[in-house]
Amino acid sequence: MTVKKIALLVLLAVTSLAQAAGLEYYKEGAICDRKSAFCVDHMGVSVALTKMYLGDKAEQKLMAEINKVGIQDFDATTFTMRGGLNCDTKVKTCWTNRYDKKVDVKATTTLFGK
């Protein structure tokens, strides 16, 4: 098997994992979690992006969750998405999960450009 074929298989596997997790990556610097119904950008959880990419129902669901916690207590800067993706906008990094702290390069690059 050639290096190109192996690289393609790895890319397809990563893409499949992200899709299976319900995540969608956008070149504009956003990631949306369709199953949990919210979107994020370099500043954190975004109501505006959620509405733009996922629609009015997702926006309403996100606002209901924010209001349940209380707007003053809601921290939009750290979040965990389906599949375990965990990001912290203060340190401009995303990890594959909250425990292993292995950097998720695709998500980090999408949100923070690094």
**Under 8 Å CB-to-CB from 100, ≥6 apart: which residues?**
none
Secondary structure (DSSP) of 21-81: TTEEEETTTEEEETTTTEEEETTEEEHHHHHHHH-HHHHHHHHHHHHHH-TTT--TTEEE-
Q: Could you tell me the residue ranges of all domains in the chain?
A: 24-112
Spell out the per-residue pLDDT of the chain, length 114, in tens.
Answer: 543 333 323 333 333 344 445 899 998 899 999 999 999 999 999 999 999 999 999 999 999 999 999 999 999 999 999 999 999 999 999 999 989 889 999 999 999 997
| pTM score of the predicted model | 0.78
